Amino acid sequence: MREFSVTILGSSAALPYKNRNLTAQLVIHAGRSFLIDCGEGTQMQLTRLKLKGMRISHIFISHLHGDHFYGLIGLISTFHLLGRKDDLHIYGPPALENIIQMQLEASLTTLVYKMVFHPTQSDFPETIYEDDGLTITTLPMIHRVPTTGFLFAEKQYPRHINMEAAENLNVPYTCFGDLKLGLDYTAPDGTITSNRELTIEPAHPRSYACCSDTLFHEPLADIIKGCDLMYHEATFMNAMAEVAVAKMHSTAAEAARIAEKAGVGKLIIGHFSARYENLLPLLEEAREVFQESYLAEEGKVFQV
């Protein structure tokens, strides 16, 4: 099965806290590397965790609060200094483009690689990336500034050929393409063999939903229904639910309620307020609602 993993680079809300860095996640799918958010110090985290930062081809910025993007200009700049050759695609709110350009201009820098900026909107879900095996769709969040989450969804895999059955019926290789798509096989003599007899069910297409900063918003559960792995911010505990509403953030229990309602496989909670030195109470609060809850901890790798 293709690799599909999420590595936590940072889990701290608003400001760095002791060993907790600012928000960033590395998503790897089938050899391709994607970065979600890029708080200050993200490039150092990539180095510290011995991850291949230069392989990142697409960076997705959820919103323009500093803890989610102040490390971006440094990463762009480091790629330049290291002589990057591959294009770099950056997705984020429109104002981000000018923020990057102004800083490059101030240092008279003309990047040695091509950077392509793709503005995002947060009004409705939109597929912003597609390759042969994956789509990435924005998820509108409810926050103090325009904010999106990101849904990484594998495409339906083609059906696998049942080689033994195919050889028994002398099915020519040239028909394998149609079989993989689910079509039946018609032999030269007109005999029809159903696809089910000649192919095997492919792996279930997996999905990862990254729900960045957001107010608790139940309809989100419908959009990400049944996804295998979900990250949902959990800045506060329920005892501070009112503060969470005022700041348009969520609590650990609320994150778990979304996970439970959406029937996800696993939940990662993160974006912890610096008031929580010990994160176990947040984990316990989430697990009371949704057992398969885990903490976003620096360096932790989650398989989707």
Contacting positions for its own copies (CB under 8 A): 14-16, 18, 40-41, 43-44, 47, 64-67, 70-71, 73-74, 77-78, 81-82, 93, 95-96, 98-99, 102-103, 105-108, 144-145
Nearest-10 Cα torsion for 117, 121, 127, 128: 0
Please, what sign has the CA dihedral across residues 130, 218, 276, 17? Answer: positive
Beta strands in the chain (DSSP E): 4-10, 24-29, 32-36, 56-60, 88-92, 115-119, 127-130, 134-140, 148-154, 160-161, 185-186, 192-193, 199-200, 207-211, 229-233, 266-270, 293-295, 301-303
Smallest distance, its own copies to C-beta of residue 285, A: 24
Nearest-10 Cα torsion for 128, 130, 136, 138: 20
Helix axes 252-262, 280-289, angle to 10 degrees: 30
Smallest distance, its own copies to C-beta of residue 128, A: 20
Smallest distance, its own copies to C-beta of residue 123, A: 18
**In whole angstroms, what is the distance from residue 98 CA to residue 112 CA?**
19
Show the tokens assigned to 81.
């200094």
Smallest distance, its own copies to C-beta of residue 104, A: 9
DSSP state of 155: P
Q: How far is CA 260 from the centre of its chain?
A: 19
Smallest distance, its own copies to C-beta of residue 95, A: 5
Smallest distance, its own copies to C-beta of residue 227, A: 29
DSSP 2-16: --EEEEEEE-BSSS-
Helix axes 72-81, 95-106, angle to 10 degrees: 50
Show the tokens assigned to 138.
């924005």
Q: Which residues contact 175 (CB under 8 A, 6 or more apart)?
A: 185
Catalytic residues: 67
Q: Toward its own copies, which CB reaches closer, 18 or 173? A: 18
Contact (Cβ atoms closer than 8 angstroms) between residue 130 and residue 58: no
